[in-house]
Amino acid sequence: MRPPVHLLYAILFFGITTSGWAQSTAPRAISFSGGYSIPIGKFASKQFSDPEAGLAGSGYFGELSYEQRFSSWLGVRLSGSLNINKTNADPLIEQYSILLPNRDTYTWQTDVTKWLFGSVLAGPAVYLRTGPVMLEGHVQLGVAFARSPGLSVIGTSSTGRNPVEARVAQGSTKALGYGAGGSASVPISNRLRFQITGQWIGSNMYFKDVPTYAIVGDIGPIKSLQSKWRFIGVLNTGAGLVFEF
């Protein structure tokens, strides 16, 4: 008995589409990557007098991404990332030491937490295959969240006079986030690829009513709530694995 025509068409269509994906790539992929995080712009500024200065240093990041590919060159990318960056407390010490007599007699103790900056972003992605190398580029939009560091500085003079104690509490916020980046990957096996990545992520964030506290000698305690806009930007470079299915 001859098979129905529509069944032959279905088999032919399936064969064409699967062979097309085999020549390009699987329609879906999950990737894991991590590496080095570099603060950029005012986020990296060490000028404590600048209200937008982030006092941030280098750190590391982790990212998980899902890709849905509509063709060999176009798709959509959803990613979640977390950056952990060091905080430089030296500008806070300088801010108070310039007010002190005999500043060379002071020893300083600091207790500083790290910046946390994360995002959940989505957007279009484009692909280009050159031999075994798959190149990918994307732009994304979504939500970003951050927790500013807590800083504590205690200064003690060998003269026993004019002690210093200053604290800045942690603050949390979220805002619109956006990013752009790309990757290059090479196959390890039929469904597994090794990739190197680079991505910029940024967000203009408002930290509201962050408590501060200071005592400088006989002055204080001075307590206040500070509200500041800060543009947080990071450049992430790293490597990871891509699982295609």
- Let me know if residue 114 belongs to a domain: yes
Query: 92 φ, ψ to 5°?
Result: -70, -40
Q: What is the dihedral of CA 94, 95, 97, 98, to 10 degrees?
A: 100
Encode pLDDT of 78-121 as tens digits: 999 999 999 998 887 887 777 788 888 999 999 999 999 999 99
pLDDT value of position 52: 83
Stretch 215-236: mean pLDDT, rounded?
Answer: 91
| Confidence band, pLDDT 50/70/90 cuts, at residue 134 | very high
**Secondary element (H or E) of residue 94:** helix 90-97
Q: Which CATH number does the domain housing residue 83 bear?
A: 2.40.160.20
Number of domains in the chain: 1
Q: What is the pLDDT of residues 139-192, one digit of tens each?
A: 999 999 999 999 999 999 998 888 999 999 999 999 999 999 999 999 999 999
Choice among 18-22, 68-72, 85-89, 90-94 with the minimum mean pLDDT:
18-22
Residue 21 included in any domain:
no
Banded model confidence at residue 20, pLDDT cuts 50, 70, 90: very low
* Residue 90 φ/ψ, nearest 5 degrees: -55, -40
Mean pLDDT along residues 124-128: 97
pLDDT exceeds 50 at position 209: yes
- What range defines the domain where residue 175 resides? 27-244
Per-residue confidence (pLDDT) for residue 18, from 0 to 100 = 37
> CA separation (Å) from 179 to 119, 171, 200, 202?
9, 23, 5, 6
Residue 3, domain member (yes or no):
no
* Closest to 184 measured CA to CA, from 125, 134, 138, 243: 134
Residue 192 in any domain: the answer is yes
Share of the chain above pLDDT 70, in %: 89
Cα distance between residue 73 and residue 110, in whole Å: 51
Residue whose tokens read 């026993």: 160
- Domain membership flag for residue 202: yes
Would 113 be classed as within a structural domain? yes
- Residue among 116, 137, 220 nearest 184 (CA): 137
Q: Is residue 124 part of a domain?
A: yes
Split at pLDDT 50, 70, 90, the class of 6 is: very low
Q: Does a cis peptide bond (omega within 30 degrees of 0) precede residue 4?
A: no
The confidence score (pLDDT) of residue 145 equals 98
Higher model confidence: residue 17 or residue 156? Answer: 156
Residue 19 placed within a domain: no
Contact 137, 158 (CB under 8 A): no
The mean pLDDT value for 10-27 works out to: 45
Token match 């305690």: residue?
221
Summarised one tens digit per residue, pLDDT across range 229-241 is: 999 999 999 999 9
Interatomic CA distance for residues 173 and 29, integer angstroms:
31
Count of CB atoms within 10 A of residue 195's CB?
20
Angle at 226 between CA 225 and CA 230, to 5 degrees: 155
Q: Which pLDDT value is given to residue 25?
A: 55
- Of 15, 61, 7, 57, the residue nearest 36 (C-alpha): 61
